[in-house]
Amino acid sequence: MAARERLDAGEISALDLTSECLQRIKRFNKKLHACLWIDEKGALEAAKAADQRIKKGERSPLLGIPFLAKDNIMTKGLKTTAASKMLKDYIAPYDATVIKKLKEAGAILLGKTNLDEFAHGSSTEYSAFGPTKNPWDVKRVPGGSSGGSAAAVAADMCLFALGTDTGGSVRHPASFCGVTGFKPSYGTCSRFGLIAMTSSTDVPGVLAKNPEDAGLVFNIIRGEDAKDQTTREYRSKKIDPAFSWKGKRIAVPKEYMEIPVAASVHSAFDKTIAFLKTAGAKIISVSLPLTPYAVAAYYVITPSEISSNLARFDGLRFGHTPKAAKNLEDYYVSSREEGFGPEVKRRIILGTFALSAGYVDAYYRQAQKVRSGICQEFENVFQKCDYVLTPATPTAAFAFGAKKNPLAMYLEDVFSVPASLAGLPAVVIPAAKKPLPIGLQLIGALGDDDGVLGAAEKKKKIFACSDIKPKL
């Protein structure tokens, strides 16, 4: 991270860096709507404190580095709305574990980024406070649901941003905005303080300029947490500084290649394969037969968990208070009718139906069987290869309103959902940036987070596209 070197050398201060990011936000946020809330006073105070720590000789990878966080991650004393009217005035009483760790490391929180309401979407069009626009083309979506974080990184509003990845919500916008998006293995980072969507696949993720920077952030936020019993430490293989692609086995699942993609995606993927072959990698074809059923299984499991997780938002414990209600039942109905958007309501209804008597065996339990099968298939594949390479999205960023059919929007996750269901680490990096960014996905074995990040960094250095920035 170039900023780290300049901070340690005394060429710039944390206050300088933070002020520059705040100025970028002021200049471009009206155009992009990437940020929902900015804590300028808190950020400047944190920057001054970071400068004092640096002057005393303290050295830490993220000390004095400004960042933004998706607005479904709790930040003490600041609004945490999940981009929903249901929580439009909610002030978080504590920091999420990942936020706490970053603050302790000296990273500077600038504010909160936009998202699809409660992270339900793949375009950031479903935010109750208005959509975020893609910095490469403001007539197009930035991807989702962490679209605000991805757009902010692409527009240099921060040096990195936190997102959450449930079925691709970090990787999808990373592809559309031309940045790096990393989803850790399930359980490597604490979910404590995240507003839950799908508890069994939710993962805090990182959006950054490159895999190296994402790795610096990941090493701070990873680790077991007594407040989240699903966290665990994996023994991940470190990447050798003399890493070479020669002899590395890169798997390409044939089922992924049968999914229709845009010509630009196909071209970027073919060029990547050619570069890897030139670098000495061995490209092997593998089969993941349950891939065609992954999205269907995910969109049974996810709404089912959503219907449970959002039950707490009833206007009494949490959520929107209706202006008038005739009785308690009317109070509940009015709170949710006024507070939730259409996509949230759709998923609650789907999940409630899938878990209802007479249907739970036919849908939910069958979906869980498919999920178990997908986990086993990946485990078998990683006995034959080091990494799996796939496209990240079927197309480049699409225009606003192009995916009015909910099913069409759900299929945006076709390449990212399988890794989420299996809990695997996956990173998306840019493979092309003209005329619009195209990302490719590298998937690693369960727990091999350091390995997949290190490989992505080496992959970037070998054949990534030139570092073109969007013109704003």
145 in catalytic set: yes
315 sits in the region (left: phi over 0; alpha: psi -120 to 50; else beta) called: left
Q: Which helix (H) or strand (E) holds 463?
A: helix 449-463
The pair of three-digit structure tokens given for residue 44, joined into one six-digit string: 């400047």
Q: Which helix (H) or strand (E) holds 247?
A: none
* Set 13, 122, 145, 307: catalytic member: 145
* Set 70, 100, 112, 433: catalytic member: 70
The pair of three-digit structure tokens given for residue 272, joined into one six-digit string: 């990547």
Residue 391 β-bridge partners: 440
319 sits in the region (left: phi over 0; alpha: psi -120 to 50; else beta) called: left
285 in catalytic set: no
Residues 6+ apart with CB under 8 A from 174: 143, 150, 180, 181, 207, 392, 428, 429, 439
19 in catalytic set: no
CA-CA distances (angstroms) from residue 424 to 188, 286, 344, 445?
A: 10, 17, 26, 6
Rg (CA), the chain: 21
* Set 60, 169, 190, 307: catalytic member: 169
∠95-100-105 over CA atoms, to 5°? 155
Catalytic amino acids? 70, 145, 169
